[in-house]
């Protein structure tokens, strides 16, 4: 099965107020047909509110939602042809697996034999063949999750919506299920909006990630760009551990800027940098342990070293600031000793303006 | 007090070995069983004995047990008294008032269980009024009003009254049932294209079914054992089993006949208790009975 | 366009109407009928006009005795039942083998109609009932005790306890079950012994349910008609019996209405007292 009519989704100036509080603040999103988009952010950032407005459970205060240029902002939820996979799975407890899947098909008045065919099809898609007659409470959490997915896929929705669907699974299962979901989505070529607060999930699954904070979108880009070139401190911090230092551009030649920061002098690639006030940002795994300094040196005392299995996480005290570095798991890092690191110029990302006080 | 915790913390000077804990637990079972036997079993047993006393060998002091047993009083009660039609009347009234209470409670419980609006908590108190006010006051002055409306001494009058007393139980249990349906399940139905009627028929009704059964059983039992309204509004035209029993107990106490009627009155309730035991979940029990 | 919210707002009163409307119409009718008749309106015979006459005549010895008697039965039943119920609930809360089999049997009195309970207990407590015979046989008393239609209404109290202890048990037990196991474990973990666990955790978390259970029993027993009539003393009668007798035997509906108003006010007063006690208990923790 392949979804031939892929639906594009456009959200225009969408705003939702609850009394005085703004849950979603003037958000505009354009999604191509077949794209897998993740809304990523901390709890309360408005990502679930957007999802629920797309499904039609909440009416926006202002703004519009379009499926392929058709305004569906005020269409009731049962007439939208979205399909949602809920955080709690929301399986109907009094129906069997097959009846759960059949529910949406019956609502669309799909003929009996076609219903049977589709139930079998989606169940084999999520690898639950033979469990038609089970009730939800007889299934494991992972199986329930896949029934929820099958139920959503069976109706062949225009838009597939996920509301933190993996948060009730254990860590190991989560990693395998996210690969499965992504594979299915690619195969079916179905426009998908996925809400999560787990950056690993977002990085692993998405075509594009929309990072949200306080009802606004902070940055929208591919996983690689979001991780490598965060726009501001919030994005940098949310996408994993980041070392950030504020500074001033003191020299600029051939696309390489020299920046004076509280941690010392840094040289970094910064094509087209405009302002004088900037921040530099790099990831702990990009720091190289060296014997003697060279360019972009970070020198400090080891406060704490934490064995992580795949690496050792080192907390350095540099001029009173804490800097994180990941070193090979086999390197011995004595707490209290001094250590010298360098950061390759191409690994340092320059953000314009002061880092936000997040 | 909690044996499990003793088992988990064996040290601590309480000196409970695993063996003595097991003894302790069996002791508890025996104590509770004995308690039940004296508290509930004995009165019931004596009631049964009294109903089986042979009229020619009266059971009196100083005999601890009757000399001879017979079914005379059972036969007598069924043959020569109003008891059989009264059972029919009581069940008819209970059935109708339960149905009426459910019909009235369903939409209201939906609103109180699933929608939010100002004054909701106050309304949840108001619906308790019929069981908060003294029963005889309600019966007497509802009866007084029914006299004016011509509803006194009619089935409709008694049914209306019993439905009023059953409504608080029905409403509270149904409200809890509606509240306990997760919003995401309703959203999922919406999301898959269900309209309001489909949601009602295929999601809400099946999911409140246990609550509906528990509420119906409560209302039904409340009606069967109700006395004040049956007495004031129904009798003497409509004699139910409670008013008949009262006439035996109150004006001329006939122990043997009373015991037969008492046992007849208990049997349906106990049947309901044991057949539908699983529906009397403690959440419904406490919803219906307590937590004002 | 923005019509869904408004539709819902119109829908709410419509949905509330059958249940709440029915209760309100009936209860308001009862209340206004009671109050108006106590001031001389709605007489079945004779003329109806406003008068304080019936209120002036109300407070004679018979009425005061009835009031005190009903208050005694109400408070006595609710307090004595709880004195037995609470320790029993604690005792039954712990796990023991066969618990699920035994518990429904203990609930039986809850499903026994009050009049049947009256009969069953009278059987046991009567002049030649089992209790008296055993006591005489043991030589503890010479003469059988009078526990039916007695002056202290011991029979009534006992019947009410028999019927209401399982009722209170259901409410208190569900409050006990409602205390999450990890809260108790946390208290134990922080060093609380059994006694502290009870006084600091279990008692404060169940006291309001226990008081509610007492209120419910009070309402039922204070306004009781049938049990007192069958097993209580000849004099004084309970308020409900007094009211009913005046209305039906003597056709003194206005007097009965005054009694009814006093009963309602008294119930409100006592419920307020219990609520106050509950709030004192919950605040002090």
Q: What is the mean pLDDT of residues B82-101?
A: 92
Residues on chain C touching B280 (C-beta within 8 angstroms): 107
Q: What is the mean pLDDT of residues C136-142?
A: 77
State the Cα–Cα distance between residues A273 and A266, nearest whole angstrom.
15
Q: Kindly report the nearest CA distance between residue A80 and chain C, in angstroms.
A: 16
Tell me, what's the pLDDT at A182? 94
Report the chain B residue with the minimal C-alpha distance to residue C228. B250
List chains adjacent to chain A, taking adjacency as at least 3 C-beta pairs closer than 8 Å. B, C
Residues on chain B touching C6 (C-beta within 8 angstroms): none
Between the ranges A69-78, B83-92, B159-168, C168-177, where is the mean pLDDT highest? B159-168
Tell me, what's the pLDDT at A3? 58
Q: Kindly report the nearest CA distance between residue A77 and chain C, in angstroms.
A: 11
Interchain proximity B185–A151, CB inside 8 Å: no
Residues on chain C touching B20 (C-beta within 8 angstroms): none
Report the chain B residue with the minimal C-alpha distance to residue A52. B187
Question: pLDDT confidence of C43, banded at 50, 70, 90?
Answer: confident
State the Cα–Cα distance between residues B232 and B223, nearest whole angstrom.
14
Q: What is the mean pLDDT of residues A1-20?
A: 84
Residues on chain C touching B126 (C-beta within 8 angstroms): 20, 23-24
Report the chain C residue with the minimal C-alpha distance to residue A60. C2
Question: pLDDT confidence of B2, banded at 50, 70, 90?
Answer: very low
| pLDDT cut 70: percent of chain A above it | 97
Query: B30-36 — which CB contacts under 8 Å span 24+ positions?
Result: B32/C91, B32/C92, B32/C96, B32/C99, B32/C102, B32/C106, B33/C98, B33/C102, B35/C106, B36/C102, B36/C105, B36/C106
State the Cα–Cα distance between residues A227 and A238, nearest whole angstrom.
10
Interchain proximity C216–B142, CB inside 8 Å: no
Tell me, what's the pLDDT at B280? 66
With 0.90 as the threshold, say if the pTM is over it.
Answer: no
**Cβ contacts of A347 within 8 Å, gap of 6 or more:** A282, A283, A286
Q: How many CB atoms lie within 10 A of CB C91?
A: 14
Tell me, what's the pLDDT at B256? 75
Tell me, what's the pLDDT at B19? 65
- Between A215-229, A321-335, B222-236, C1-15, the lowest mean confidence (pLDDT) is in C1-15
State the Cα–Cα distance between residues C235 and C229, nearest whole angstrom.
10
Report the chain A residue with the minimal C-alpha distance to residue C2. A74
Tell me, what's the pLDDT at C284? 59
Question: pLDDT confidence of B1, banded at 50, 70, 90?
Answer: very low
What sections of C179-252 are H helices per DSSP? 181-189, 194-196, 203-222, 226-231, 239-248
Q: What is the mean pLDDT of residues A289-299?
A: 85
Interchain proximity A90–B202, CB inside 8 Å: no
Q: What is the mean pLDDT of residues B146-159?
A: 93
Nearest to B203 among A56, A80, A92 (CB): A92
Question: pLDDT confidence of B283, banded at 50, 70, 90?
Answer: low
Question: pLDDT confidence of A295, banded at 50, 70, 90?
Answer: confident
Q: Kindly report the nearest CA distance between residue A179 and chain B, in angstroms.
A: 24
Tell me, what's the pLDDT at C159? 92
- DSSP letters of C215-234? HHHHHHHHT--HHHHHHS-S
- DSSP letters of A237-257? HHTS--EEEEEEEEEEETTEE
Interchain proximity A93–B193, CB inside 8 Å: no
* β partners of residue A323: A316
**CA–CA distances in Å: residue A85 to residues A7, A192, B13, B171:** 18, 11, 54, 33
**Residue A23 DSSP SS3:** strand
Whether B10 shows a pLDDT value over 50: the answer reads no
Mutate to test the interface with C, among B33, B43, B150 (most CBs of C within 10 A): B43
Say which residue, C130 or A289, is predicted with more confidence. Answer: A289
Q: Kindly report the nearest CA distance between residue A297 and chain C, in angstroms.
A: 49
Residues on chain A touching C7 (C-beta within 8 angstroms): none
Mutate to test the interface with C, among B190, B286, B288, B291 (most CBs of C within 10 A): B286
**Number of Cβ pairs < 8 A linking chain B and chain C:** 285
Q: How high does pLDDT run on average in chain B?
A: 83
Residues on chain C touching A53 (C-beta within 8 angstroms): none
Q: Kindly report the nearest CA distance between residue A74 and chain C, in angstroms.
A: 7
Question: pLDDT confidence of B8, banded at 50, 70, 90?
Answer: very low
Q: Kindly report the nearest CA distance between residue A75 and chain C, in angstroms.
A: 10
Q: What residues of chain C, 5 to 44, have a C-beta less than 8 Å from chain A? A: 5
Tell me, what's the pLDDT at B162? 96
Whether B251 shows a pLDDT value over 80: the answer reads no
Tell me, what's the pLDDT at C178? 84
Whether A293 shows a pLDDT value over 80: the answer reads no
Token pair listed for A219: 């940055």
Interchain proximity A92–B185, CB inside 8 Å: yes
Q: What is the mean pLDDT of residues C130-151?
A: 76
Mutate to test the interface with B, among C82, C115, C124, C233 (most CBs of B within 10 A): C115
Tell me, what's the pLDDT at A145? 93
Interchain proximity B189–A92, CB inside 8 Å: yes
C16-33 per-position pLDDT tens digit = 999 999 999 999 999 999
Residues on chain B touching C264 (C-beta within 8 angstroms): 133-134, 137
Residues on chain B touching A108 (C-beta within 8 angstroms): 193
**Number of Cβ pairs < 8 A linking chain A and chain C:** 7
Predicted complex ipTM: 0.86
Residue entry with tokens 């009416």: A59
Interchain proximity B227–C257, CB inside 8 Å: no
- β-strand pairing of A256-261 with A264-269: antiparallel
Residues on chain B touching A162 (C-beta within 8 angstroms): none
Residues on chain C touching B282 (C-beta within 8 angstroms): 170, 173-174, 177
A237-288 per-position pLDDT tens digit = 899 889 998 888 888 888 888 999 888 889 888 877 777 888 899 999 999 9
Report the chain B residue with the minimal C-alpha distance to residue A149. B188
Residues on chain C touching A59 (C-beta within 8 angstroms): 2, 4-5
Question: pLDDT confidence of A317, banded at 50, 70, 90?
Answer: very high
- DSSP letters of B128-162? THHHHS-HHHHHHHHHHHHHHHT-TTSHHHHHHHH
Residues on chain C touching A74 (C-beta within 8 angstroms): 1-2, 4
Mutate to test the interface with C, among B6, B33, B133, B233 (most CBs of C within 10 A): B133
- Between B64-73, B116-125, C111-120, C225-234, the lowest mean confidence (pLDDT) is in B64-73
Q: What residues of chain A, 49 to 88, have a C-beta less than 8 Å from chain C? A: 59, 74, 76
Q: Kindly report the nearest CA distance between residue C15 and chain A, in angstroms.
A: 21
B160-184 per-position pLDDT tens digit = 999 999 999 999 999 999 998 999 9
B213, B92 in Cβ contact below 8 A?
no
State the Cα–Cα distance between residues C102 and C114, nearest whole angstrom.
22
Q: How many CB atoms lie within 10 A of CB C115?
A: 28
C20, B167 in Cβ contact below 8 A?
no
What sections of chain A are H helices per DSSP? 47-55, 97-107, 112-125, 141-154, 171-188, 199-205, 223-228, 233-238
For residue C237, give the DSSP letter: P
Q: Kindly report the nearest CA distance between residue C49 and chain B, in angstroms.
A: 18
Residues on chain A touching B207 (C-beta within 8 angstroms): 93-94
A37, A210 in Cβ contact below 8 A?
yes
**Residue A151 DSSP SS3:** helix
Report the chain A residue with the minimal C-alpha distance to residue C1. A74
A139-182 per-position pLDDT tens digit = 999 999 999 999 999 999 999 999 999 988 898 899 989 999 99
Tell me, what's the pLDDT at C2? 45
Q: What residues of chain C, 139 to 168, have a C-beta less than 8 Å from chain A? A: none
């Amino acid at each position: 099965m392949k979804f031939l009519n892929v639906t594009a989704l456009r959200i225009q100036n969408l705003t939702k107020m609850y009394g005085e509080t703004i849950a979603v603040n003037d958000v505009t999103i354009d999604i191509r047909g077949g794209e897998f988009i993740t809304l990523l952010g901390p709890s309360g950032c408005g990502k679930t509110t957007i999802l629920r407005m797309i499904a039609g459970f909440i009416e926006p205060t202002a703004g519009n939602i379009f499926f392929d240029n058709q305004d569906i902002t005020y269409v009731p939820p049962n007439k939208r042809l979205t399909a949602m996979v809920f955080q709690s799975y929301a399986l109907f407890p009094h129906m069997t697996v097959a009846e759960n899947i059949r529910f949406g098909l019956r609502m669309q008045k799909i003929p009996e034999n076609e219903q049977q065919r589709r139930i079998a099809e989606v169940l084999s898609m999520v690898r639950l063949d033979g469990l038609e007659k089970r009730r939800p409470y007889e299934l494991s959490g992972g199986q329930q999750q896949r029934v929820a997915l099958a139920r959503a896929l069976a109706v062949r929705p225009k838009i597939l919506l996920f509301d933190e669907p993996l948060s009730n699974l254990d860590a190991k299962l989560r990693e395998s299920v996210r690969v499965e979901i992504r594979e299915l989505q690619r195969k079916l070529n179905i426009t998908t909006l996925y809400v999560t607060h787990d950056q690993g999930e977002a990085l692993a699954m998405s075509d594009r990630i929309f990072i949200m904070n306080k009802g606004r979108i902070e940055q929208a880009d591919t996983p690689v760009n979001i991780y490598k070139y965060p726009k501001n401190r919030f994005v940098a911090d949310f996408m994993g551990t980041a070392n950030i230092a504020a500074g001033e551009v003191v020299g600029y030649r051939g696309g390489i800027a020299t920046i004076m920061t509280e941690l010392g002098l840094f040289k970094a690639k910064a094509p087209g940098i405009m302002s004088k006030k900037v921040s530099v940002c790099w990831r702990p795994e990009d720091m190289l342990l060296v014997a003697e300094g060279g360019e972009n040196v970070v020198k400090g005392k080891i406060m704490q070293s934490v064995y992580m299995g795949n690496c050792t996480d080192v907390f350095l005290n540099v001029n009173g600031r804490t800097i994180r570095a990941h070193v090979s798991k086999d390197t011995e890092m004595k707490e209290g000793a001094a250590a010298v690191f360098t950061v390759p110029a191409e690994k340092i990302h320059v953000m314009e303006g002061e880092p936000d006080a997040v | 007090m909690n044996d499990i915790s003793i088992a988990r913390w064996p040290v601590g000077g309480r000196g409970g070995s695993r063996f003595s804990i097991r003894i302790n637990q069996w002791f508890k079972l025996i104590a509770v069983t004995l308690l039940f036997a004296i508290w509930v079993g004995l009165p019931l047993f004596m009631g049964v004995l009294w109903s089986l006393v042979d009229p020619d060998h009266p059971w009196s002091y100083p005999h601890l047990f009757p000399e001879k047993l017979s079914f005379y009083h059972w036969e007598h009660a069924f043959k020569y008294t109003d008891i059989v039609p009264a059972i029919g009347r009581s069940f008819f009234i209970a059935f109708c008032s339960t149905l009426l209470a459910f019909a009235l409670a369903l939409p209201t419980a939906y609103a109180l269980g699933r929608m939010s609006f100002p004054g909701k908590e106050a309304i949840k108190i108001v619906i308790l009024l019929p069981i908060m006010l003294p029963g005889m006051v309600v019966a007497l002055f509802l009866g007084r009003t029914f006299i004016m409306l011509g509803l006194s001494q009619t089935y409709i009058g008694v049914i209306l009254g019993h439905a009023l007393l059953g409504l608080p139980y029905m409403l509270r249990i149904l409200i809890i049932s509606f509240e306990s349906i997760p919003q995401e399940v309703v959203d999922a139905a919406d999301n898959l294209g269900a309209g309001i009627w489909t949601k009602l028929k295929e999601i809400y009704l099946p999911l409140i079914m246990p609550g509906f059964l528990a509420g119906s059983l409560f209302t039904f039992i409340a009606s069967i054992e109700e006395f004040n309204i049956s007495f004031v509004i129904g009798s003497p035209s409509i004699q139910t089993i409670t008013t008949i029993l009262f006439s035996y107990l109150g004006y001329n106490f006939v122990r043997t006949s009373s015991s037969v009627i008492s046992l007849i009155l208990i049997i349906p309730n106990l049947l309901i208790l044991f057949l539908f035991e699983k529906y009397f979940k403690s959440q419904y029990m406490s919803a219906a009975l307590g937590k004002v | 366009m923005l019509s869904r919210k408004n539709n819902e707002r119109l829908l709410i009163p419509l949905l509330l109407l059958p249940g709440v409307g029915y209760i309100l119409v009936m209860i308001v009718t009862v209340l206004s009928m009671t109050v108006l008749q106590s001031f001389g309106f709605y007489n079945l015979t004779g003329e109806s006009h406003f008068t304080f006459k019936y209120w002036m005549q109300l407070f004679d010895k018979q009425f005061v005795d009835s009031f005190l008697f009903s208050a005694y039965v109400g408070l006595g039943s609710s307090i004595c039942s709880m004195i037995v119920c609470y320790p029993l609930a604690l005792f039954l809360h712990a796990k023991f083998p066969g618990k699920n089999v035994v518990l429904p049997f203990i609930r039986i009195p809850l499903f026994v109609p009050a009049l049947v309970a009256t009969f069953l207990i009278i059987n046991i407590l009567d002049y030649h009932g089992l209790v008296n015979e055993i006591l005489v046989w043991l030589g503890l008393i010479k003469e059988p005790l009078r526990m039916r239609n007695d002056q202290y209404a011991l029979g009534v109290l006992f019947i009410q306890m028999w019927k209401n202890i399982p009722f209170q048990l259901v409410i208190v037990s569900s409050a006990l079950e409602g205390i999450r196991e990890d809260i108790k474990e946390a208290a134990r973990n922080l060093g609380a012994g059994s006694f502290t666990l009870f006084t600091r955790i279990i008692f404060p978390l169940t006291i309001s349910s226990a008081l509610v259970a007492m209120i419910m029993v009070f309402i039922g027993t204070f306004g009781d008609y049938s049990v007192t009539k069958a097993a209580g003393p000849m004099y004084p009668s309970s308020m409900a019996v007094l009211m009913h007798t005046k209305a039906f035997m003597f056709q003194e509906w206005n007097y009965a209405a005054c009694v009814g108003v006093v009963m309602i006010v008294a119930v409100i007063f006592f419920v307020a007292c219990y609520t106050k006690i509950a709030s004192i208990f919950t605040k002090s923790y």
